[in-house]
Chain A
Amino acid sequence: MRRTYDIDGKDFSVAGAASSDFKVLLKKLGIPGDVIRRVSIAMYEAEINTVIHGGGGKCEAEIADNRIVISFIDQGPGIPDIDAAMQEGFSTASEQIREMGFGAGMGLPNIKKYTDDFQIQTVVGKGTTVTLCINL
C-alpha cells in the first residue's frame, strides 16, 4: 500500500500532517503500537526537516509485507556535512524556527534511533532525500 504527500515548505502550522495521516492508516491496518510509535517519531522528524530545512517537498510512504519504507524528497540546499548533521544538538535552524520549538538538533539522531535502516542522499544546492525503513 502506498501513500504520497505534498509537504508545504511555508506553512509551518501544517507541519506533521503527513505523519499524522499515515499514523491513522497504520492504526487502521492493525500495525502494532510500538511500531507505530517508532514510525511516527522518525517520520515526524523527517517531515519537519523537509519543511524547515528543505523548503518543502514530497513524501512517499509504502507499507510492504515485511517493512515500511518512507522517503522525503526535497529540492532544498542539501547537507554539506552529514557527519556533523548527525551529531546530537547540531542545528542550523534560525532563531525564529527555534522559538517554535524546532531546531533542537535531535531530529536525525532520533530518526537513526527509531528506524531499522536510514539513508541520506544529498547534493549541496540540489536537494536531499531521506529514506527510513522500519521492519514489520
Chain B
Amino acid sequence: MKVAELADKLHLECLTKEGDLNLEVTGCYIGDLLSWVMGRAMEGDAWITVMSNVNIIAVATLSNVSCIILAESVTPDPAVLEKADAQGINVLRSTLSSFEIAKQISEVAGL
C-alpha cells in the first residue's frame, strides 16, 4: 500500500509537501531511540515515533523508511518539516497512540 493511501485510510495529517507519497509501505517499526531505529527499521517501513526533533529526518533519510508517523499529536520542532521537505521525507501525524496506529496499519495494509 502506498503512503498516500495509508494516510487517507488512517486519517493521518500530512505535514510535509515534498515527500514522495507514492512510496510503498512494506512494514512498520515503532521506536524513539535513534540507534535502534537506524539498526532495526527496514526499508519501506512506516516509522512510528513520538520523537519530534530534527534528528529523526537524518535517520529516516538513511534508513529508507517510507514515512514517519508522529503519534499522539506530537508537534515537531520547526526545523523538522523544513528539513523533511528538503530531503523529500514524508512526515505524517496521528492523534492515536503508536499501538493503535500500528494495529490499523496491519489491518489496512494486510501486514
- Tally of contacts, chain A with chain B, CB under 8 A: 66
Instruction: Give CA–CA (A54, B52) in the complex, Å.
Output: 24
Q: Are B35 and A13 in contact (CB under 8 A)?
A: no
Binary interface encoding of chain A residues 82-102 relative to chain B, with 1 for a CB under 8 A from any of its CBs, else 0: 000000000000000000111
Does A67 lie at the interface of the complex (its beta carbon under 8 Å from any beta carbon of B)?
A: no
Given A16-B55, A17-B58, A44-B59, A37-B64 contact (CB < 8 Å): yes
Please choose the segment from A57-65, A72-80, A103-111, A116-124 that sits at the chain B interface, where 4 or more of its residues have CB less than 8 A away. A103-111
A19 close to B55 (CB less than 8 A): no
> A134 → chain B, closest Cβ, in Å?
14
Q: Does the CB pair B53–A16 fall under 8 Å?
A: no
Given A13-B54, A37-B43, A101-B53: A106 touches B59 (CB 8 Å cut-off):
no
- Expressed in whole angstroms, the Cα–Cα distance for A41 and B39 within the complex equals 6
- In the complex, the answer to whether B62 meets A101 with C-beta atoms within 8 Å is no
A41 touches B62 (CB 8 A): yes
CB distance from B94 to the nearest CB of A (A): 19
List B contacts of A107 (CB < 8 A): 35
In this complex, how many residues of chain B approach chain A with their Cβ under 8 Å: the count is 21
Q: How many A residues touch B, CB cutoff 8 Å?
A: 25
Cβ contact of B79, chosen from A13, A15, A33, A44, cutoff 8 A = A13
Q: Which residues of B contact A114 (CB under 8 A)?
A: 39
* Residues of A with C-beta under 8 A to B64: 37
Which residues from chain A sit less than 8 Å from chain B, CB to CB? Answer: 12-13, 15-17, 19-20, 23, 33, 37, 40-41, 44-45, 48, 100-102, 104-107, 110, 113-114
A selection of 7 A-B contacts at a CB cut-off of 8 Å is: A13-B54, A20-B87, A45-B38, A102-B55, A104-B36, A106-B36, A114-B39
**Chain B residues packing against A (C-beta within 8 Å):** 32-36, 38-39, 43, 51, 53-56, 58-59, 61-64, 79, 87
